[in-house]
Structure 1
Amino acid sequence: MKSYLCAIGTANPPHKIPQMQIADFMATALQFDETETRKLKALYRVSGIAHRYSVLQDYERQNGDFTFYPNHVTLDPFPTVQQRMDVYKEHAVNLSEEAVRNCLQQVPAVTLEELTHLITVSCTGMYAPGLDIELVERLNLARSVQRTAVNFMGCYAAFNALKLADSICRANPEAKVMLVCTELCTIHFQKYTQPDHLVSNALFGDGAAAVLMQGKPCQELSLELQSFHCDLEPAGKREMAWHIGDTGFEMTLSSYVPDLIKNGIKQLTERLLQGLKTTVEEIKHFAIHPGGKRILEVIEQELSLTRHDNRYAYQVLRDFGNMSSATVLFVLKAMMQDLTLKDANEPVLSFAFGPGLTLESMLLKVHYAPADASL
């Protein structure tokens, strides 16, 4: 039995905000002086990000007139967890629905009514009845659709959802699984001035990605899932973390994370490829989660990759920032759009990282339907 990733749909909120405009907002909100502001803007300039998307307009507004944050120089009283979850509940379902519909536009032969399973993924909001049930109602899915929620696992969570979808499709070739990753990272801005928090505020954006998976290919191009491997780097347990505080979800992203990934990435790759007839040197296609520019650079160093090899990760980082679990799916989509018949049977190597420190890896293979392969 096999499983295939047939299509990826994406969606972003309407507010596309230049990176340096966000830097201005942050400097004002944190009440930085001239020297602190100059250092902050330098951090934003070297981030590799041109712009990010947010469900909040406030990051575009430098002189108050906010719709979410209080119109006060200190942003007090600072929004509570409940207020942030209200924003999540308002916007997450719309973004998710858009991503699903975008996904199915690419595979006209598959209808919403045919979906047998729905997997929702998020670490930036939660409520019950949740996003999964709201999507069933919005999309008029069968009430009997089997639902699973993968919550609060961070940037690598898409891999766990893909593993689940892979198992479902291998067990039931008739299954049609819709997987939706939706993250509203920008609703969790915190007014901390420690370096880890400044880095987090400089990276994250909002977005959603939806994936259709089946036990058989459903159009000319698809990606066949081959193998997964996960590893933990316990030394990084405190270096990348995600906690719920009194005024929102609080991200810790230490500057040591790239070094921890550098130390573990080669071993992770070797274990993934062990027993398979593939070596890193033979792989031409890469879909790496852009947790940050430095993370991409250390992976290239360790695996002897070029920036061109890693171009899709840089492209997504530049255009969207880090959207947590949805990001690696944006990278896979960008890569798939460039694949052609000459890439048939080529391997694809993918990575993502998150709290723990967790390192996830996946090997896929480019598949072309036999009926079209002779064209």
Structure 2
Amino acid sequence: MSTFIQAIGTAVPQYVISQNEVLQFMLKAHQLKGEDRKNLEVLYRATGIQTRYSVIKDYLQPDQNEFFPNNEELTPFPDTRQRQQKYRDEALELSLTAAKKCLETIDPSKITHLITVSCTGMYAPGLDIDLVNHLRLSPEVKRTAINFMGCYAAFNAIKVADAFCHSDKPVNALVVCTELCTLHFQKDNTENNFLANALFGDGSSALLLTNQKPATPSLEVSHFYSTLQTEGHEEMAWDIGNTGFEMKLSAYVPDFLKKGIDPMLNRLWEESNQREFDYYILHPGGKRILQVLEEKLGIGASENHFSRQVLKKFGNMSSATILFVLEALWNSGAMKNDQYNVLGLAFGPGLTLESMILTIHSHE
């Protein structure tokens, strides 16, 4: 049986924040002066990001904080319990908005599998059960939770759905990736915190996958290949601290990707017998990462405009991001091109390198 992506949905919180507004907030939090202040301003300008979205209003209204403390030093920063309560308060509504866009094409009672993805919040009974109840899915729906994998986790969710679809029975799998990264911005003056605070935003994305070929345009899941660039093991990490989740994101990640991308692609090409691609969906982990990928793939920025467009408008939303890129492709008119091939790449802690090939079925 084959696996087809039948529908995509995305959602962002109500607060859209300019990159400069986040910068001003973090300058206050970090209490930087002189050359250090100028260096942070340069970092924010260099990200390629114009706006991000957040469930936290504070970034928009200095001195009127609702989540962070109302004092000059913004101390003490919220602890992990406070941040996780905010996740629980906000994640469901955002997830429902994304998921309902997928369910416009199907009776919710026909969803057989639900796969939830997040690395920015956890609770039990969890987001999966909340979605079952609010979407009126069958209480017998098979649930899988993928947690704490980071930016590449949507690929693992698609692989899980693909495995379910290799069944003799009809399968309709709903994947929901929800990340509230801005809950975890950190105050300590470290390079890791400066970079993470400059890149990440909030968002939710959803996919409907089926093993029954749709009568409408769809994407067939063709091949996967995953590997580890173990030399970069320490360059990207995600730990639970006393003041939320602490991201380690080294500026050297693009260099390790540069070393690992060729062996991964060669293996993917060998297994799929596919070397030419019409479209690209590349996880926009940062501007430099996209530049490295473009160089290695031999493509220009114009051929990678879906990823660049998402980075500019939304920032890096961890696992949810790659599906925003896929939605941009879906809505671009590309789905009219029958049998065109799409290469997807994403990366995360490990250093994990994920790849995927999709084929467009236009039905025109």
The correspondence for 1:115, drawn from 105, 111, 115, is 111
Q: Which contiguous aligned blocks of 4+ residues in structure 1 show a shift greater than 4 angstroms? A: none
Q: Which residue of 2 aligns with 1:21?
A: 21
- 1:301 is paired with a residue whose SS is helix
Pairwise CA distance, 1:216? 2.0
Aligned pair 1:345/2:344, yes or no? Answer: no
Residues 1-375 of structure 1: pairs in structure 2 closer than 5 A: 1-62=1-62, 64-105=63-104, 107=105, 110-279=106-275, 282-340=276-334, 343-369=337-363, 373=364
Pairwise CA distance, 1:316? 0.3
- 1:72 is paired with a residue whose SS is coil
Q: TM-score, normalised by structure 1?
A: 0.95
Answer whether contact 2:277 2:341 (CA < 8 A) is retained: yes
- 1:155 is paired with a residue whose SS is coil
Unaligned runs of 5+ in 1: none
Q: Could you list the per-position Cα deviations for residues 217-242 of structure 1 after superposition, in whole angstroms to 9, with x for gaps in the alignment?
A: 32421100001000101111110000
Matched to 1:231, the amino acid is T
Number of equivalences: 364
Q: TM-score, normalised by structure 2?
A: 0.98
Answer whether contact 2:170 2:210 (CA < 8 A) is retained: yes
Looking at structure 2, the residues matched to 340 and 347 of structure 1 have their Cα atoms a distance apart, in angstroms, of 10
Unaligned runs of 5+ in 2: none
- 1:365 is paired with a residue whose SS is strand
Matched to 2:184, the amino acid is H
Q: CA RMSD in A?
A: 1.2
Q: Could you list the per-position Cα deviations for residues 103-160 of structure 1 after superposition, in whole angstroms to 9, with x for gaps in the alignment?
A: 223x2xx111111110000000001100000111111111111100000000000011
Pairwise CA distance, 1:367? 1.1
- 1:78 is paired with a residue whose SS is coil
Looking at structure 2, the residues matched to 172 and 296 of structure 1 have their Cα atoms a distance apart, in angstroms, of 40
Pairwise CA distance, 1:36? 2.1
Q: Classify 1:24/1:219 alpha carbon distance in 2 versus 1 (closer, same or farther; 3 Å).
A: farther
Q: Could you list the per-position Cα deviations for residues 239-261 of structure 1 after superposition, in whole angstroms to 9, with x for gaps in the alignment?
A: 00000011110001001100101
Sequence identity, in percent? 48
Pairwise CA distance, 1:342? 5.2
Looking at structure 2, the residues matched to 314 and 267 of structure 1 have their Cα atoms a distance apart, in angstroms, of 24
Looking at structure 1, the residues matched to 199 and 61 of structure 2 have their Cα atoms a distance apart, in angstroms, of 19
Q: Could you list the per-position Cα deviations for residues 257-301 of structure 1 after superposition, in whole angstroms to 9, with x for gaps in the alignment?
A: 00101111121111112132321xx21200000000000001111
- 1:364 is paired with a residue whose SS is strand
Looking at structure 1, the residues matched to 213 and 33 of structure 2 have their Cα atoms a distance apart, in angstroms, of 57
Answer whether contact 2:68 2:77 (CA < 8 A) is retained: yes
Pairwise CA distance, 1:35? 2.8
Looking at structure 1, the residues matched to 336 and 7 of structure 2 have their Cα atoms a distance apart, in angstroms, of 19
